[in-house]
Amino acid sequence: MNFEILTDSSCNLPEETIEQLGLHIVSLSYILGDEEEKRSYVKGQTFDLKGFYDALKAKIPAKTSQVTPEQAREVCRPIFEAGKDLLYVGFSSGLSGTYNAVRLALEEFKDEFADRKIYFVDTLSASAGQAHLVREACKMRDEGKSIEETHSWIEGVKMKLCYFFTVDDLWHLQRGGRLSTGKALVGSLLSVKPILIVNNEGKLVPVGKAKGRRKSLDNLVERMSEKIDLTLGSKVYIIHSDALTDAEYLSEQVLAKYKDVETEFVYLEPVIGTHTGPGVCALVFMGNERE
């Protein structure tokens, strides 16, 4: 490897993939009820995601913490001391302070390790979209591409990652400050399900609504058909937070419409799940534009 790749736990990758790709991870944390703080990713640690979302359904309070500069320095220092360059591919700054915290730590290393190349990318993405960019970066690294080429490619393509998703209600997003109270009112109407996107600033914004859960899922597929660009990639990620049946329905609809597409299910990790709540279903894909 001619450089190392750092990302954070919001990329939502399983440990097996993290090990295969040789990734370095800094982890966000969460607290559920009266339990001790837990990191979203710890090597060798497994999560009862079903139990986690059941607790959220029962309105057990939960909160999260971003990565600190100190945590980032702890992970990165051995990389630089080993004489390696580093590329950080991070969680959207529109959703968390993690990217800026890690960037601050990396900026502080530039004087101490002046001969090392240090690059960072604010993906303006999360979960499967962030993971897609991480995977592609690893592929480029392993093919012998330089850190500059890899960084430039991610910056050039990241705004082509499109997100359409729906939630059962917006209470969790509003409570966690990811959506304003006014915007959350759209979800207060009986049986009306909101449609949201991740916008060009990496923030969550509502763009519509549908009457009932099934129609909201169909709406996601309809909106995807207006944006998807199969020349940029044929993978469609389907993210869900304890909503596998609905995710499988989405996959069926996507595969019926696009014969050359491959779908992949992603079970949403706890930190992002704390803010979205249970019942999320999302389509993530490469498209012509986000907004």
Q: Give percent of the chain with pLDDT exceeding 90.
A: 86
Tens of pLDDT, residue by residue over 48-103, are: 999 999 999 998 999 999 999 999 999 999 999 999 999 999 999 999 999 999 99
CATH 3.30.1180.10 positions along the chain are 159-286
Can you give the pLDDT at residue 170? 67
Q: DSSP letters of 85-120?
A: -EEEEE--TTT-SHHHHHHHHHHHHHHHTTTS-EEE
Q: Name residues whose C-beta falls within 8 Å of residue 227's C-beta, 6 or more positions apart in sequence.
A: 162, 285, 287, 288, 289
Q: Compute the average pLDDT of residues 174-194.
A: 58
State the CATH architecture for 159-286. 2-Layer Sandwich (3.30)
Tens of pLDDT, residue by residue over 13-53, are: 999 999 999 999 999 999 999 999 999 999 998 889 999 99
CA terminus-to-terminus distance, the chain: 36
CATH 3.40.50.10170 positions along the chain are 4-158
For residue 290, pLDDT over 50 is answered with: yes
Which of these, 85, 224, 98, lies nearest to 165 by C-alpha position? 224
Question: What CATH number labels 4-158?
Answer: 3.40.50.10170
Q: Compute the average pLDDT of residues 129-142.
A: 98
For residue 187, pLDDT over 50 is answered with: no
From residue 158, give the alpha-carbon distance in Å to each of 27, 149, 227, 242, 289.
22, 14, 15, 27, 10
Q: What is the pTM of this model?
A: 0.93
**Residue 184: which pLDDT band, with cuts at 50, 70 and 90?**
very low
